[in-house]
Amino acid sequence: MLTVRQFEFSPIMENTYVLYNEQSECIIIDPGCYDQREEQVLKEYIKQHRLHPRLLLNTHCHLDHVFGNRFVHETWDLELYIHAAEKQVLDYAPEAGKRWNLPFSNYNGPLHFLDPKEKIRIGNDELSIIEAPGHSPGHICFYSESQHFLIGGDVLFRRSIGRTDLPGGNHQQLLNSIRTQLFVLPDDVKVYPGHGESTTIGYEKKFNPFLQAQ
C-alpha cells in the first residue's frame, strides 16, 4: 500500500509528491523544490522516514515541475522518466525560467521515455500511466487502481483545469483528455493535482465549470 506525501514548493506553489510503501521504498514525482531550503525539506523528510528513493518521474516538464530534478538526481542517483513528447518541454524549461525570472539548472542526466502500456512498479504496488495531453504535449498522470488515487499534474484541479496558453497547449485536447481519460475513472478516485488542494473525479464531474455538459 502506498502512502502519499505532498509538499508545496517554489514561488509558483507547485505540489511535489513522494509515494512510499511499507518497505520504505519511494517514488518522487514532479520535484519542484527551487532553492536550498526547499531541497533540504525534501531531503530531511526522506531521511527522517528512512525512505529509499527508487524512481524519479515527471507528469510533464514545465519549469515548476522540474526545478528539483537535478537535485534529486545528484542526491539519490535517480534517472528521469518522462513521456517522450515532453523532452522538448524539458529542453525549453531553463529559457522559461529566465522569462519568469526563476533561473535554475536543468536536469542533465540520462532520460528514459515511459511507455503508457507499461506499469510503474514499486514493491507490490503499481501505477498505471494515463496519457492526458492538452496542458502540455506529453502530459501523463499516474493512477493507482487498487487505492483509487491519481497523481494528476496540471490536467484537472478543484473546480478548474490546466492552462493551455503555453507552448504545446491545446484547450480542446485538454477537455477531451479529461472527459475520455479521467472522467471514466470511478467517482471516488482522489485527484492529487499539481497545484492547490486535492479533489475527486465525482466532485469535478458535478461542479467543475469548465466541464459541464454543453
153 with 196: CB under 8 angstroms?
Answer: no
The conformation of residue 168, written as its DSSP 8-state character, comes to T
Pairing of the two strands 149-153 and 25-29: unpaired
208 with 198: CB under 8 angstroms?
Answer: no
Kindly give, in sequence order, each residue whose CB lies less than 8 Å from that of residue 69, ignoring residues fewer than 6 positions away: 31, 56, 58, 80, 106, 107
Q: In the CATH scheme, what is the homologous superfamily, with its name and number, of domain 3-207?
A: Ribonuclease Z/Hydroxyacylglutathione hydrolase-like (3.60.15.10)
Mean pLDDT over 168-194 rounds to: 97
**79 phi-psi bin (left φ>0, alpha ψ -120 to 50, beta other):** beta
Mean pLDDT over 157-167 rounds to: 96
pLDDT reading at 214 higher than 80: no
Tens digits of residue pLDDT in 72-117? 999 999 999 999 999 999 999 999 999 999 999 999 999 999 999 9
82, HSE (Cβ side, Cα atoms, 13 Å): 28
Kindly give, in sequence order, each residue whose CB lies less than 8 Å from that of residue 36, ignoring residues fewer than 6 positions away: none
Mean pLDDT over 120-141 rounds to: 98
What pLDDT is recorded for position 36? 98
pLDDT reading at 37 higher than 60: yes
Determine if the pTM surpasses 0.95.
Answer: yes
Q: How far apart are the first and last CA of the chain?
A: 39
Q: What share of the chain is helix, strand, coil (3-state, %, to 5)?
A: 30, 30, 45
Placement of cell 497547449 in the chain: 169
Tens digits of residue pLDDT in 114-124? 999 999 999 99
The DSSP bridge partners found for residue 16 are 7
pLDDT reading at 10 higher than 70: yes
What's the mean per-residue pLDDT of the chain? 97
> Domain limits of the chain?
3-207
The pLDDT confidence band at residue 213, using thresholds 50, 70 and 90, is: low
Tens digits of residue pLDDT in 45-76? 999 999 999 999 999 999 999 999 999 999 99
pLDDT reading at 212 higher than 90: no
